[in-house]
Structure formats: C-alpha cells, structure tokens
C-alpha cells in the first residue's frame, strides 16, 4: 500500500509542477499589468512604468522565460512574489485560503455525505415516493448553476426575513461589520452568515453525489455477494450496508478527486456573490487588475488542492478495495 501511494504521489507531483508552470505562463501571457499604469492620468513616464513592473517581475518586455525562472525560484523558497500593490502575496494568500476553507470544507463534506446516504437510500427504495422525490430533487440541483442557486437562496432568505420581521438570515460577508457581540454572540453571528453560502455549496455537491451513488447502488442490489450474505442469515438492511454500500462507495472515491475542480469553481461564484473574501473572490479581482503573481499563486494552491484530493482518493480506494492493497 505504501509503495502504491508513493508511486501515485510521485506522478501527481510531476503533474502539479507542470500545471503550476502552465498557470503562471497563461497568467503572464493573458494579463496586461502595464495597462494599469498607462491608463493613469497623468500618464507616468515610460521609464517609471518599466521600473515599477520590473520591480514586481511583471515587465512584459522582459522575456517570459526569465520572468518564469524568477517566479519559480521564489516559489521553491516559499515566496510567491508581490501583488500589484507591492504587498507580499504570501500573507494575503494564506489569509484568503483560511476563509475559503471555512466555507468549502463544511459545505463539501455535508453535501457529499448527504448525497451518498440519500443516493443509496433512493436506490434501495427504487420506484417509490422517496426515490422519485430524491431523484427529481437531485436532477434539479444538477440543472441549476451554482450562481443561480446562490441568488435563489438569497431571494428566499430575504422573503423569510420580511415575513418574520426579524433578520433571521444574513449573507453578506463573514460577520456583521461594526457589531459588538460577546464570544457566544459573535460565534452565532458568524454561523448565521455562514449558513446560506454553506448550504449553496452543500446542495451543489449533493446533486453530484446523489445521482452517481444511486446509479452505483442499483448495480449491487442484486449482486451475487449480496444474495449470498442474505442466504447466510443476514437481514436485507445489514447485507446492503455491510456488502452492497461498501462496494458501491468504492468507485465514488475516484469520482471525489474529479469533483474538486467543480467545487473550487463553485467556490469562486459563491464567494463573489456572498461577499466572502476568499481565494475565489481574490482570483476574480486579481485577474481584473492584471495581477499575474496573485493569479499564479492562486493557481498553485488550486493545483495543490487537487493533488491532495487525488492522494486522499487513492488512500480511500485502497482502504475500501482489498484488490488495490494486494496489487500494491
């Protein structure tokens, strides 16, 4: 198992280096930081513009390979360079990552776990009211883009606030600006602001996992090993939980790695719509400003997140499938 994971990690690290390099090259080619300085009134002298861009390693008149080597050397030493404003990328990056993790982790875990459980339950209750209700709901969630889902939840929450007459739901930022609460009150205020964006992420993940898990569970309901377990005296529920569900969940570990990209993309929309200052919002703002170093740093973090997800997927696959451990 350890040798298998090391081989997988080595291949993932090579892909991570290539993907990170590609992210920097695309950002350096597509973005135009020079336009920000040339558009000022009065326009700075050309020498000043070149000096400013060169100091930030953003001068488009410097060969791309030279700029990439300077950036890559800094990344090796843990330095992602400077933002357009001259601030260190590292400090802002890790603060934003913390904000995004608070939002994405809770929504992703709750949505995927609920999707797996209800998907399996819908398969067991195939053709009944519960199955139809869950299937229709998951199909609707898959059909609705995450940014539309976020706006619909905001509209519904606003209606509830108007009917109740109290601001039950809040959704702009992480907490109420300028409000003074005690420790418990501050925690409650943060939870209130976290609710709607977390539900948005969770519902999007639920739609993905529920449909896939239902299809996988249908394949094992009448499998030989499930029938054998029941013939040995296990009740239907026990046979399905011990043998059917474990087999049906195993392919989902591979699917988990591929949904990380969709999760990160959904996080960009959710953060922008709900006013959360995470890496998703920062990516949109940095791209608009032509901040190459910030965009490249965010791309590097996203690649590392996908690599980590693939490694977790391999570990779970090995734990659930003994054939992987035997082959390793």
Q: pLDDT tens digits for 171-222? A: 777 766 555 555 566 677 788 888 899 999 999 999 889 988 888 888 887 7
In order of 55, 158, 206, 253, 281, the CA distances from 199 in angstroms are 43, 15, 10, 23, 18
- Tell me the torsion sign for CA atoms 207, 212, 215, 220: negative
Residue 82, classed as helix, strand or coil, is: strand
Q: How far apart are CA 262 and CA 275, in angstroms?
A: 20
Residue 221, classed as helix, strand or coil, is: coil
Instruction: Enumerate the domain spans of the chain.
Output: 2-327
Q: Dig out the tokens for 76 from the structure.
A: 């090796």
Which residues 6+ apart lie within 8 Å of 192 measured at CB? 168, 169, 170
Q: How far apart are CA 131 and CA 112, in angstroms?
A: 18
The CATH classification of domain 2-327, taken from the options 3.40.1420, 2.60.40, 1.10.3720, 1.20.120: 1.10.3720
Q: How far apart are CA 234 and CA 244, in angstroms?
A: 12
Instruction: Enter the pTM of the model.
Output: 0.82
Residue 71, classed as helix, strand or coil, is: helix
User: Which of 12-16, 38-42, 165-169, 312-316 is the most confident on average?
Assistant: 12-16
- Share above pLDDT 90 across residues of the chain, in percent, rounded to a whole number: 22
Question: DSSP string of 229-247?
Answer: HHHTT--HHHHIIIIIHHH
Q: How far apart are CA 134 and CA 278, in angstroms?
A: 32
pLDDT by residue (tens digit) across 80-118? Answer: 988 888 888 998 898 999 889 888 889 999 999 999 889
CB 150 within 8 A of CB 172: no
193: number of Cβ within 10 Å: 21
Fill in the DSSP letter of residue 73. Answer: H
- Share above pLDDT 70 across residues of the chain, in percent, rounded to a whole number: 91
């Amino acid at each position: 198992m350890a040798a298998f994971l090391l081989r997988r990690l080595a291949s993932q690290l090579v892909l991570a280096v290539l993907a990170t390099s590609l992210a920097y090259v695309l950002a350096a080619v597509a973005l135009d930081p020079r336009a920000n300085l040339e558009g000022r009134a009065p326009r700075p002298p050309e020498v000043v513009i070149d000096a400013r861009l060169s100091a930030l390693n953003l001068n488009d008149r410097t060969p791309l390979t030279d700029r990439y080597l300077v950036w890559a050397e800094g990344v090796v030493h843990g330095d992602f360079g400077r933002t357009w404003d001259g601030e260190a990328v590292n400090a802002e990056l890790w603060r934003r990552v913390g904000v995004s993790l608070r939002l994405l982790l809770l929504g992703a875990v709750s949505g995927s776990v609920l999707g797996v459980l209800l998907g399996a339950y819908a398969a067991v209750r195939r053709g009944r009211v519960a199955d139809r209700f869950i299937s229709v709901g998951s199909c609707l969630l898959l059909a609705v883009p995450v940014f539309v889902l976020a706006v619909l939840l905001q509209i519904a929450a606003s209606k509830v606030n108007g009917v109740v007459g109290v601001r039950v739901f809040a959704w702009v930022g992480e907490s109420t600006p300028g409000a003074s609460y005690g420790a418990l009150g501050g925690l409650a205020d943060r939870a209130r602001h976290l609710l709607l964006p977390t539900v948005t992420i969770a519902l999007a993940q639920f739609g993905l996992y529920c449909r896939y898990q239902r299809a996988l569970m249908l394949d094992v309901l009448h499998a030989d090993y499930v029938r054998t377990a029941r013939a040995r005296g296990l009740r239907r529920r026990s046979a399905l939980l011990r043998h059917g569900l474990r087999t049906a969940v195993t392919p989902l570990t591979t699917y988990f790695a591929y949904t990380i990209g969709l999760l990160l993309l959904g996080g960009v929309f959710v953060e922008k719509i709900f006013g959360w200052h995470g890496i998703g919002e920062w990516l949109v703002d940095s791209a608009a400003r032509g901040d190459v170093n910030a965009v490249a740093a965010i791309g590097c973090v996203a690649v590392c997140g996908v690599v980590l997800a693939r490694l977790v997927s391999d570990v779970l696959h090995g734990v659930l499938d003994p054939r992987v451990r035997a082959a390793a």
